[in-house]
Structure 1
Amino acid sequence: MRVKKGPLVVIGDTLLDIDVEGSAERIAPDAPVPVVDVEGEHLRPGGAGLAALLTARDGADVVLVTALADDPQGRTLRSLLNGHLEVVRMPLHGTTVCKTRVRARGQTLVRIDTGDGRALARVTDTVRAAVRRAGAVLVSDYGRGVAGTVLELLGEVRAPIVWDPHPRGSMPVRGCALVTPSELEARRLCPPPYTSPDLAARHLTKALHAQAVAVTLGSHGAAFAHAGGHHSRIPPPTLASGHDVCGAGDRFAGASALALRDGLPVEDAVAVGVGEASRFVEGGGAAAIRLQSHEMGDRPRTPMEVAELVRASGGRLIATGGCFDLLHAGHVSLLRRARALGDALIVCVNSDASAKRLKGPGRPVVGQRDRVEVLRALACVDAVMVFEEDTPAQVIERLRPHVWVKGGDYAGRELAEAESLRRIGAETVVLASVPGRSTTGLIAAVQET
């Protein structure tokens, strides 16, 4: 019998991130600065809210303990998080912190920070109950006071604690399973002279009384040290480079914490975090997250309508395919992450006959009509298209997506639809699968009962 693990509890400061996207083709006449013609505005949670959202989109059970103001920006944050995870709200004194990036052609020109909110030192019974049922805890400290209010409570936690520190935040509690400073934060935490991230990681395991420390190094992975004396460099996987690294630290810390919750050794958990952060940056970083699509309006009913509207508006069309038989958390995680790569997601589904040829007798367990209805009910899916052929090559050429997404079990393999993807110039992105989730496993578990 499989024992259900407690949720990942993310504790920390949530900000509102705003990307103002546009084009800059001219210089202002009154100052040597670019003039940005605004084409759209995208909002998402930042800080601890982003770390929690990204792990929830992996299919994990996530509880976010954070401070939110009762102002328009705070209410926007609640609406952005609603439906993705459970939020345990603490009071915030002041106004919601907003970080606005003005971007042109994928490059950030300026960031504007507003808001003065700080968490009030008040731990409620609801907060205590959330922390006590945690399978793992991630403290995502952005220096706005949430971490400091729960220090005493964290001393009672028996689940692994991952602490992502901030220069203006609290010092991690003793005994953290993992502390994840950036190299800049490691420099500030270590006494001078600073020599290398490797020595910093070893020093900080002792100074912070941590079981392990991973100093994150961006495209170079992480410098890892264990309290037992073992230390190593953990490189990223070989991936195409990305430009927007905003949110990569949150992705790393959340994925590492989730891996620890699932029982991985700490060095393996750090390797998972490095890989997920690299894939996150490759997929466009935080700028690729689309929780609200103002351009799409009401979702059209047919896949071709979706595809035509996205292309007409200059958007990025994402497509993926599969049987999606007995829809499970791994499927949902893949679809959520795929949708975050662009402006609309079309799911191409094997027909009953096609699925039987692919999977064998007895499959699919769920008929195509029901599979389509369940997929259409997901907020991250904009349209569903059924295909009768053995591969989705023909529907790919009809839809002409900008990006074709496959699950991690296809990594390193030539796809049957590869020629069609090359013909239309589509990019292929392989997203990591959620361990332990598969339709075959579900069927086997049912048959054993």
Structure 2
Amino acid sequence: MRITVVGDVLLDVDINGAATRLSPDAPVPVVDVADIRRRAGGAGLVATVLAQDGHDVALVTAVSDDDGARHLRRALAGVSVLAGAPLAPTPTKTRVRIGTHPVVRFDQGCAPAPVPSSTGEMLAAIASADAIVVADYGRGITANSDVRAALAGAARHVPVVWDPHPAGSEPVEGVAVVTPNLAEALASAKAGGLETSRTGVEEAALYLLDKWGSGAVLVTRGEDGALLLSAGEHAQGIPAPKTTVSDPCGAGDRLAGSLAVQLGLGLGLAQAATRAVEDASAFLAQGGAAALAAVAEVAASDEAPKASLVVEPSPVVEPSPVVELKGLELVDAGELQPDSVQLARAVRSRGGTVVATGGCFDLLHAGHARTLSAARSMGDCLIVCLNSDESVRRLKGAHRPIVSVDDRAELLLALECVDAVLVFDEDTPEACLSELRPDIWVKGGDYTPDELPEARLMAGWGGRCVTVPFHPARSTSGLAAALAKVS
């Protein structure tokens, strides 16, 4: 099948590595870089996936002539790239991953760009396609008047699937399906004066169907599947297969490409949409965009030392799928709090990373707060294993704890970085760890992770230990001594 993808290309960069320690300069993880992989994103991802499926793919886009563009062209091998006048710079999105878990993303060159020019070859690829996917990423190709006219003409003869973007152009009238995600659909409807909410997705879809003049609107809703609405028909919910997702990147691109293929093959709209949702779920189950074949630009080896990257907290950190549990009820010492275990299981079931740490946390101070914040940045939830009052007395002496377990737990839960607290009565947290089975166990100290007494236990289920540097002049004993002087 001849498929033309029209849209904006991005360069996606994945920096992959492991983190077993924190920087001594700040409570942030140090990533030992294993490799750096570059791949085509945006419309380039749609074209790459369709080409790997065996289709004859033409990509109508705009490509710069900078370094990023050279990486893009290598990643688009097998795709016929038809580009207008160069745009600079190439928009680049760099993700840092610890294992399979994204911890931060840096965007470069993603500001609005001038509308690129078009060529006769680009317009001919639109006119001759059996199906068309528009992957609008707000970089201007869909605002080109000649490209829009060609798309409007093609929509009268072949299926055109339009994946919109908040900063992009309005879909041309007459396309077969527009595929906004839930947030985009609600935001577009609200911008048009329609007051709606998360439960008003059908109302938003009806509004957009009329506004865009498309044959149908398919609102994608992540793990909840999608909602399909076409003119004169009742809305139809399309469930998504249950899937463990480590990274949702590329799901919408896969869905739009698959939907165009199914419609091009002659399937009915509902059946095509169902297949597309299933294909997107399968794509994520296989690792999503990050699992696509890519060239490793930097690889660690015995001959070359590993590169390291210190990841500082940044406002561009992408949110992970996190289950928030606050204000948990404490139970008798020695019993596990069910909500803590449920949280760990829920996060794991969604492909997330469970982080745990432990201690007495008597007289909470800045050193504790820094350590807890650093621990939370390593995963999707942080569970604190907290020594009971009896456990603290055995470890610290009859004069401790200063603060009761109920108050210590309440203070910990008041911190934004703490998702749950689990109280234990033993001298060590091993029973808690065996029940929680966290992916990462964080402890403070100047020893290596392998020296921790919990290291062997954690290794039993594939977990690992991470150490956090001590913060000088910040300790419970020091704080208690200072308070004694003023009491």
Shorter-chain TM-score: what band? 0.5 to 0.7
Report Cα offsets for 1:24-82 as digits up to 9, x if no partner. Answer: 11222222211111111111100000011111111111111111001111011111112
Amino acid at match of 1:163: W
Task: Indicate the RMSD between aligned Cα atoms, in angstroms.
Answer: 1.8
Separation of aligned partners in 2, 1:62 and 1:219: 29
| 1:252 alignment partner in structure 2 | 255
Segments of 5+ residues of structure 1 without an aligned counterpart are 298-449
- Range with bigger deviation, 172-181 or 21-30: 21-30
Q: Secondary structure at the match of 1:190?
A: helix
Q: CA deviation at 1:293?
A: 4.6
Q: Secondary structure at the match of 1:92?
A: coil
- Range with bigger deviation, 187-196 or 37-46: 187-196
Out of 270, 286, 297, the position equivalent to 1:283 is 286
Q: Secondary structure at the match of 2:25?
A: coil
Q: Secondary structure at the match of 2:219?
A: strand
> In the alignment, is residue 143 of structure 1 matched against residue 143 of structure 2?
no
Out of 205, 219, 227, the position equivalent to 2:209 is 205
> In the alignment, is residue 168 of structure 1 matched against residue 164 of structure 2?
no
> In the alignment, is residue 90 of structure 1 matched against residue 92 of structure 2?
no
Amino acid at match of 2:130: G
CA contact (8 A) 1:67 1:119 kept: no
Q: Secondary structure at the match of 2:97?
A: strand
Separation of aligned partners in 2, 1:116 and 1:95: 8
Separation of aligned partners in 2, 1:116 and 1:187: 24
| 1:228 alignment partner in structure 2 | 232
Separation of aligned partners in 2, 1:169 and 1:252: 19
| 1:115 alignment partner in structure 2 | 109
Separation of aligned partners in 1, 2:136 and 2:180: 11
- Structure 1 pair 69/294, CA: closer, same or farther in 2 (3 Å)? closer
Amino acid at match of 2:63: L
| 1:237 alignment partner in structure 2 | 241
Q: CA deviation at 1:137?
A: 1.2
Q: Normalising to structure 1: TM-score of the pair?
A: 0.62
CA contact (8 A) 1:91 1:119 kept: no
CA contact (8 A) 1:51 1:254 kept: yes
Q: CA deviation at 1:257?
A: 0.8
- Structure 1 pair 243/85, CA: closer, same or farther in 2 (3 Å)? same
Q: Which has the larger radius of gyration?
A: 2
Out of 152, 156, 160, the position equivalent to 2:153 is 156
Separation of aligned partners in 1, 2:126 and 2:134: 11
Report Cα offsets for 1:85-120 as digits up to 9, x if no partner. Answer: 211111232210000001102111110011257354
> In the alignment, is residue 194 of structure 1 matched against residue 202 of structure 2?
no
Amino acid at match of 2:166: P
Q: Secondary structure at the match of 1:200?
A: helix
Amino acid at match of 1:110: V
Q: CA deviation at 1:173?
A: 0.7
> In the alignment, is residue 271 of structure 1 matched against residue 271 of structure 2?
no
Q: CA deviation at 1:174?
A: 0.7
> In the alignment, is residue 40 of structure 1 matched against residue 35 of structure 2?
yes
Amino acid at match of 1:130: A
Correspondences of 1:40-439 after superposition (within 5 Å): 40-82=35-77, 84-116=78-110, 118=113, 120-149=115-144, 150-157=147-154, 158-191=157-190, 192-195=194-197, 196-238=200-242, 240-293=243-296
Matched residues, number: 290
Separation of aligned partners in 2, 1:230 and 1:136: 26
Q: Secondary structure at the match of 1:186?
A: helix
Q: Which runs of 4 or more aligned residues in structure 1 lie more than 4 Å from their structure 2 counterparts after TM superposition?
A: 293-297
- Structure 1 pair 171/270, CA: closer, same or farther in 2 (3 Å)? same
Q: CA deviation at 1:153?
A: 2.2
CA contact (8 A) 2:15 2:94 kept: yes
Amino acid at match of 1:40: D
CA contact (8 A) 1:93 1:120 kept: no
Separation of aligned partners in 2, 1:159 and 1:120: 26
Separation of aligned partners in 2, 1:64 and 1:154: 14
Instruction: Report percent identity of matched pairs.
Output: 42
Segments of 5+ residues of structure 2 without an aligned counterpart are 301-487
- Structure 1 pair 120/201, CA: closer, same or farther in 2 (3 Å)? closer
